[in-house]
């Protein structure tokens, strides 16, 4: 009985890794579409979002089956409960990537917007790294890795604040660009939210290991 339970937990881990990889794909495609003005990638982002929705339902079903059939307790129950919370955050990451994609037709990264290109790229790279590391920490029961993800959110937050400041300066210099470059702030905000979701995942990793939620 325990061997079957262990196999199902391994299936859960593999599914979470696949879902995390889809999150990375969605973020990467959305930002690439933005930076390269490649609207052809928008459909790919939306398709990946739909795959994330499907995976959320699939993993949720697996978790409920584990709870009902195996009646786990203590750490095993925390692991499954944490996975249920994590997939909600990963599904929302897909939503944020789709939100970025939806703004691409209104937003251009040329001219004034190009001043934010490097920081947008850095935000996306940092957010992707956080998502990957948080899922990896769950699979490996890596407390230090989870805590690093939580602390890494400061970098994403800092870049968001910097981009907001740059946009304020751009608008002051070119008042007519206000509406156009404001979309860049929205994109940065979506990336900042992705960082928050990765942080949430890491906090649930901490809970799965210690029974305490967050980085307390």
Domain ranges of the chain: 2-210
Distances in whole angstroms, Cα of residue 134 to Cα of each of 137, 184, 189, 197: 5, 27, 20, 10
Q: Which residues contact 206 (CB under 8 A, 6 or more apart)?
A: 143, 146, 147, 150, 212, 213, 214, 215
Q: What is the mean pLDDT of the chain?
A: 91
Q: What angle do CA 13, 64, 202 make, to 5 degrees?
A: 45
- Give the integer Cα–Cα distance in Å for 13 and 83: 9
Domain 2-210 CATH (choose: 3.40.50.300, 1.20.950.20, 1.20.58.220, 2.20.25.240): 1.20.58.220
For 40-54, write each residue's pLDDT tens digit: 899 999 999 999 999
Q: For residues 17-29, give the mean pLDDT.
A: 96
In this prediction, residue 214 carries a pLDDT of: 55
């Amino acid at each position: 009985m325990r061997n079957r339970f262990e196999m199902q937990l391994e299936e859960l881990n593999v599914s979470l890794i696949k879902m995390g990889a889809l999150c990375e794909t969605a973020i990467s495609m959305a930002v690439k579409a933005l930076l390269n003005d490649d609207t052809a990638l928008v459909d790919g982002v939306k398709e990946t979002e739909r795959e994330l929705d499907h995976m959320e339902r699939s993993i949720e079903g697996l978790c409920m089956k584990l709870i009902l059939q195996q009646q786990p307790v203590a750490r095993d129950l925390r692991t499954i409960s944490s996975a249920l919370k994590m997939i909600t955050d990963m599904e929302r990451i897909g939503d944020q990537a789709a939100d970025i994609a939806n703004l691409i037709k209104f937003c251009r990264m040329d001219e004034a917007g190009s001043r934010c290109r490097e920081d947008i790229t850095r935000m996306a790279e940092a957010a992707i790294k956080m998502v990957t590391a948080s899922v990896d920490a769950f699979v490996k029961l890596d407390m230090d890795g989870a805590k690093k993800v939580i602390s890494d959110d400061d970098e994403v937050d800092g870049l968001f604040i910097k981009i907001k400041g740059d946009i304020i300066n751009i608008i002051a210099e070119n008042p007519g660009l206000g509406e156009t470059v404001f979309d860049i702030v929205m994109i940065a905000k979506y990336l900042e939210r992705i960082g928050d979701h990765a942080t949430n995942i890491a906090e649930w990793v901490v809970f799965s290991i210690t029974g305490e939620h967050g980085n307390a």
